[in-house]
Structure 1
């Protein structure tokens, strides 16, 4: 296979795809060799320095279409934090130009698989080997926290493992501690801390929780929550640290449980954990060489990546893999003849190492030098779920029935640069002029009859507008729109949902708020003993948007709630309301009564 003049063939290691029409051949002082990953909003390329010939992973922002000022600021912020985060356990930034016509950042290319891939393909890791990997991750966190950087997306996919130890990558949604915000980060939900899931500020303790979840995955092969949990229940489990630790080896139990404490104050610091792991490893027999504690299946996979990296560095015509065991790439022709790429994943878990081909579109190509392309779920002819879709709700309810993978693949879109907070449903380009015109015609203040079901996305390919004064079946109102970028005010959660379309005509982003009708019933969190329950934005956005039959039976941990009123904050809720949700930015107060 040819990529930018260099030839790649069969082998083992990272998957590298050829450059396609429209890809640049050079960025800065780097010659692009092939694609490591691609998403709807950016791409990661394998590149070679024209100076010393070294390899780099070059990330671009918005490889197609107009690049707005907001996107540039986010990308520049990621570059700044990635530079600060340089250390032996992270990927070093080599060069960057956020102000270029096509902003880019070159990072050290790490030829190594992710811990996620290693667990999936070579099995879990326990004992001394698990401690050794965790110690390396802790070394990275300690250095970050000393610089007041909170990573916010620690998970198995973001740990690349070389024989010399792990590298913590992806600073797309990291932040400096003095820039803490209260929105949920868009990292993988199963590895998110409870405070992040509740929309509270993330701190260094949040990283410790995520590391504990990662260590559990490393040792057991799954996340620390009940398997096959649908999205709403998983949100509840994460927010309450309601874990399922079955299968956790006894020797790791005390550390994992301490990391997964509900209260951040009850968790040990990364520095305390590092001291503990370093002491325990010092008591173990010395490993014969770097990575010597790892089992053979792990070292074979790691060595395959390393061999590929050495070959690519030494010989521009060296082979790169076509690993059909992981991914098959099919190309089809769209209406205008351009190639459309569909990635078919063989494994149930997405991967995130350099070139690992299944980083979901939900998270987007946000890692530092690492990402992957994922297929966007089709919205064409999407059917509204029926009661049969969920046995717990009867009577024609429209319900939220989703797996974590599906939600992360189509509901939450973390764009390149990684700092987009809020909830996005991304409309893949279908090269339809009519669809583009429909998006262009939508104005701020319009109401939309198109509804949102969380199984398939928006129920129409393009927005259908209506007069807000007369429409009785228009559940959404457009509060802002942006041509050529994202609606910044839609990135703070607060009950808003964005509908973004990217096509050859550029990007259009709509920010919509839910219109509630007094007397309608919605699916919400089960009320506690408190008279008033403050609901965090992510649950508010996903749960309260779902209309259900008032006589239906909710799933476990949920309640059917009747809308009493959606009023101004100063009016307050009537006594019958047991749940309130404050839309802080727009002055609304949603009052709900338990049915």
Structure 2
């Protein structure tokens, strides 16, 4: 199983180095070994039976592999490593605590860091998503920048030499590091798949060499393999490295601008560590103010990191009795000496619960991703519905415009007909007036004009494209077939007696008033009225309305299964409650002049993420909100995202302490009463 592996000391291993009692072997490298030790002060007050002070922290003690005489070159090389490691004072590297390069067996005591390497994390739980790679790139570039500022080139940057703690990456192993001002070329090659072309060719290493190795490491985190074609032959691999002949298949497009410039063949063309850090922080956005790993890494990674950290806490606290384990080991056969000892194995069995918890968190994350995808699908469907509604609204307004234009044309036509009728009445009245002998020629001229108008009938003319709803009365030409109707007689053609009163009704008729138009249908109002008490709605508060206003994610309600919804309708009126987990959603229709209101209350599920304004000591939570747990930006009124970790039936004895998963759960929790105090939600910041 995963976890730190320790090995019992062999007969060739020392039991002490300087003031440190060695209790286990951690690892064996090409030129040295690393042991787990604790400072021992014989006869000190408070010491245990063996003289070990439990209060002293565990350390990692490194020494050379040589069992007898240590050659001068080896001693000088070790002394140089001690000097360079001591030169670096950074929170991103393992701190040097003590050393003695002149001892019979030189040794170096450094800070013990209970954390997995990047190599083990990829092997155990898989590769990283884009933002997580950017975060590790920024933090490792920060460490390299601090290292280079002291005049040190690491020369062996690789996944195995970067430990990942909850506070970020830590660079270790300066065994083949060298200073800028070192007189030797120091062309020692690191690990082939992560070394630079100039190192592989035997040329001098520079700051740019570390950046190439960083690029190969980041590629490994994103793809799960080094950036070269797979080969089983080390000579063939070395040739690929010397030519910088990389294979980029599988590298996410978003990471190419970050990683490929680091893998340039020419050192002068590679990105500097400060530029890498600035680029990554810019791409990650405003939430990079926190350097906590949990903000960026998947749950599987953070669970394994926490498993190592808990194992380290137990070791530091003396939970493992190494002396008792040694007593048991002595009665075993010598064949078992190289395997991890029983004490640490028993401790890892105690940590099995943590592994199960990690698996549960991974399952929860998978379910959360599925829920996020479903929410995204519903959001896109909502946008599609809103687009369709907007299109129908546009078509409706176009129809209204055309109808308005048609009515305007009809109104103008009626006005024209009315004017023509008035002109005809005036002409008829003038024609029926008797003429005197003194102006006979004038009467003759007037009569001729009237006859011409009656023949032409301009009032009956109309535009080809304008419909006429009432063509008006029709008149004769003014000529009769019998006598007495001569041109100069001045008589009307309507009757022989000259009485025109029988036609007056046609002249004075008015158009009938138009009926009032029916109100246009309002689909949004219909959607609100179709909702019933008990319905659950596919809607939530986006948070962009602020803490005192609601900004709903949809323009109209859509019912959905309650298991997938954030709100439920408990009343359909304006008389809604004012509790923190309740709200009113109303709509005013300009078509009908009515307002429809829905009273909403929250629906909650484990894993739901809500917006929060968190100041550390207290938090204001938007209980009707919903947000993707991995969002990088939140609305202005909020600064954090909370996830619901548990839902309890609230009783008089239920407190926030009930939210903890166990005695090792050190998360900070908040609790919130809902449903009128009948239910308690447990929440924590989604880091």
Aligned partners of 1:134, 1:83: CA distance in 2, in Å?
Answer: 24
| Equivalent residue number for residue 160 of structure 1 | 163
Corresponding position of 1:13: 3
1:206 to 204, 209, 212: 209
Residue 104 of structure 1, aligned match among 91, 102, 107: 107
Contact 1:112 1:160 in 2 (8 A): yes
Contact 2:60 2:111 in 1 (8 A): yes
Matched, 1:50 2:53: no
CA distance, structure 1, for counterparts of residue 213 and residue 30 of structure 2: 27
Q: Pick the structure with more helix per residue.
A: 2
What is the alpha-carbon distance in structure 1 between the residues aligned to residue 305 and residue 256 of structure 2?
27
What displacement does 1:94 show? 0.4
Paired position in structure 2 for 1:215: 218
Confirm whether residue 224 of structure 1 aligns to residue 227 of structure 2: yes
Which moves more between the two structures, 281-290 or 229-238? 281-290
Residue 193 of structure 1 corresponds to 196
Q: Mean Cα displacement is larger for which, 87-96 or 220-229?
A: 220-229
* Residues 288, 167 of structure 1: alpha-carbon distance in 2 compared, 3 angstrom cutoff: closer
Q: Given the alignment of the two structures, is residue 299 of structure 1 paired with residue 302 of structure 2, yes or no? A: yes
CA contact 1:220–1:248 (8 Å) conserved in 2: yes
In the aligned structure 1, how far is the partner of 2:271 from the partner of 2:14? 46
Q: RMSD value over aligned CA atoms? A: 2.7
**Which structure has the higher relative contact order (CA within 8 Å, separation 6+)?**
1
Out of 269, 282, 292, the position equivalent to 1:279 is: 282
- Matched with 1:234 is 237
CA contact (8 A) 2:95 2:110 kept: yes
Match of 2:143?
Answer: 140
- For the 8 Å contact 1:34–1:47, the answer to whether it is kept is yes
| Partners of 1:231 and 1:219 in 2: CA distance | 23
Q: Tell me, in whole angstroms, the C-alpha distance in 2 between the residues paired with 1:112 and 1:297.
A: 14
Q: Answer yes or no: is 1:251 the counterpart of 2:245.
A: no
Distance 2:147 2:277 in 1: 13
Over 3 Å counting, the alpha-carbon distance change for 1:180 and 1:203 in structure 2 is: farther
* Cross-structure match for 1:26: 16
CA gap of 1:188–1:216, structure 2 versus 1, over 3 A, is same
Q: Where in structure 2 are the equivalents of 1:25-104 lying within 5 Å?
A: 25-38=15-28, 42-50=32-40, 52-104=55-107
Q: Is the deviation greater in 135-144 or in 65-74?
A: 65-74
Cα distance, 1:121–1:61 mapped onto 2, change above 3 Å: same
Q: Normalising by the residue count of structure 2, what TM-score does the alignment of the two structures yield?
A: 0.44
| C-alpha separation in 1, matches of 2:333 and 2:191 | 28
Distance between the aligned counterparts of 2:322 and 2:71, measured in 1? 38
Moved more, 128-137 or 111-120: 128-137
Task: Assess, with a 3 A threshold, how the Cα gap between structure 1 residues 67 and 289 changes in structure 2: closer, same or farther.
Answer: closer
Within 5 Å, which residues of 2 pair with 1:461-480?
none
How much has 1:151 moved relative to structure 2?
0.6
Q: Under a length normalisation based on structure 1, what TM-score does the superposition of the two structures give?
A: 0.51
Structure 1 gap segments, 5+ residues each: 1-10, 323-329, 334-338, 344-595
Show CA shifts across 1:384-436 (max 9, x none). xxxxxxxxxxxxxxxxxxxxxxxxxxxxxxxxxxxxxxxxxxxxxxxxxxxxx
Cα distance in 1 between the residues matched to 2:299 and 2:199: 37
Map 1:485-504 onto structure 2 (within 5 A).
none
Aligned residues: 320
Alpha-carbon contact 1:114-1:160 (below 8 Å) kept: yes
1:172 is aligned to 2:172: no
Question: Could you tell me how far apart the structure 2 residues matched to 1:285 and 1:172 are?
Answer: 32
Q: 1:311 aligns to what? A: 314
Larger Rg: 2
| Compared CA separation, residues 169 and 284, structure 1 to 2 (3 A) | same
Within 2, Cα distance between the matches of 1:331 and 1:229? 36
Greater strand proportion: 1
> SS of the counterpart of 2:98?
strand
1:180 Cα deviation (Å)? 6.1
